[in-house]
Amino acid sequence: MLHLLKQSNNPTSSGDFARSNINNKKHASSTSKVSELEKKNAELEESNRELSNLLMDQMRSNSSLGNIISLFEKSSHESQPLKVSAHIQEALACYDAEYCFLVNWPEQHYLFSHDGFITDLQAKIITHLTLQKDRIIRFNNKTLINYPYFAICLTLSDDNKLDDLTRLSQVCDYIIENLAKSSREKVAKRRLSQKALSDTIALLDNIMDIENTCNNCTMDCFSDFRWTIQSTIIGMDLAPEDENRITHVLEQLLEQFEQRQVSTRTIDKYLRRAKCNLLQLDSEDKLGKSSS
């Protein structure tokens, strides 16, 4: 009786216990709902993947679409027009048609044919016809499918195959256009890098002239020098090891200058090392430009 009386005199403890039970049940219910939702999301994602694979397989089973998909996949990582052209020739092989096609690259163009031979007359005709704006041009027993970056001239009487080849030509034009844009951006970037490199080498020459004639280098002079070099190198988008190759000698020079351990000979040595590294990058950049 006394025990029951004590329990009845302690309502707070009973209330806390009840609230704790309710909270635990709510937490368990919430956790269960989250787990169920995650499970359903995983099942939905798996279903989407299976559906995508099924649709892709279905498209591949169509000879025309499968050909286009294969061309996209093979050309997606290429950076050279000749390699893309080789993939285009593979895609054209299934049509069993005589053809020659033109890849219109910035400042030049490439011609290819089904048998590897193109006469001067054929080259002049297709080059002249591609200057026209008509999408389909018919002459004699030939048809020219004409896009800005890709044009193909072929002998084909099957209208269904002609429709398929028109779609394929549009895809080829899209691939080559994107590749040409990327190439132009790289060329523009390389020119900016080349100018920055030349300006930085000239800056090194000026600093060496000042150091040799005045022998009065200050901390501000070398701080400005380091900042100019580093900002130029960073703007060139070089690989980390190339950046380190340049900036390391500058850090060493400034550190010694701060500690008042630098001499005219040391300054000259570090400046020459920095210039040597820059000249090496300059020659590598010109070599890469000529090879591409």
List of residues 6+ apart from 111 with CB closer than 8 A: 100, 101, 102, 103, 118, 122, 123, 126
| pLDDT value of position 1 | 46
| pLDDT value of position 219 | 55
- Asked whether residue 46 falls in the same domain as residue 79, the answer is no
- Asked whether residue 103 falls in the same domain as residue 159, the answer is yes
User: Does any domain span residue 75?
Assistant: yes
| pLDDT value of position 5 | 44
Helix segments in 62-158, DSSP class H: 63-75, 81-92, 120-129
**152, containing H or E segment:** strand 150-155
Neighbours of 267 (CB within 10 A): 20
- Residue-number span of the structural domain to which 229 is assigned: 217-291
- Count: domains in the chain: 3
| CB 282 within 8 Å of CB 232 | no
Q: How far is CA 117 from CA 34, 92, 111, 114, in A?
A: 67, 16, 10, 8
State the burial class of residue 66 (Cβ atoms within 10 Å of its Cβ: 0-12, 13-18, 19+). Answer: middle
- Asked whether residue 100 falls in the same domain as residue 176, the answer is yes
Q: Any idea how long the chain is? A: 292
Neighbours of 56 (CB within 10 A): 13
- Asked whether residue 126 falls in the same domain as residue 232, the answer is no
List of residues 6+ apart from 144 with CB closer than 8 A: 126, 129, 130, 136, 137, 138, 151, 152, 153
Query: How far, in Å, CA of 200 to CA of 206, rounded?
Result: 10
User: Of 29, 59, 89, which residue constitutes the final position of a domain?
Assistant: 59
- Asked whether residue 54 falls in the same domain as residue 69, the answer is no
Q: Give the pTM.
A: 0.55
Instruction: State pLDDT tens for residues 38-92.
Output: 777 777 776 666 666 555 555 555 566 777 778 878 888 887 888 888 888 888 8
- 78: CATH: 3.30.450.40
Percent of the chain with pLDDT over 70: 52
User: Does any domain span residue 278?
Assistant: yes
User: Does any domain span residue 137?
Assistant: yes
In which residue are the tokens 């001499």 written? Answer: 263
| CB 194 within 8 Å of CB 201 | no
**78: Cα separation from own chain's centroid:** 11
**45, containing H or E segment:** helix 11-61
pLDDT digit of tens for each residue in the chain (292 aa)?
Answer: 444 444 445 555 555 555 666 666 666 667 777 777 777 777 777 666 666 655 555 555 556 677 777 887 888 888 788 888 888 888 888 887 888 899 988 778 888 888 878 778 888 888 888 888 888 888 888 888 999 999 998 887 677 788 888 888 898 999 999 888 888 888 887 777 777 777 766 766 666 665 555 555 555 566 666 666 666 666 666 667 767 766 776 676 666 665 555 555 566 666 667 667 677 766 666 655 555 5
- Asked whether residue 180 falls in the same domain as residue 86, the answer is yes
User: Does any domain span residue 54?
Assistant: yes
User: Does any domain span residue 153?
Assistant: yes
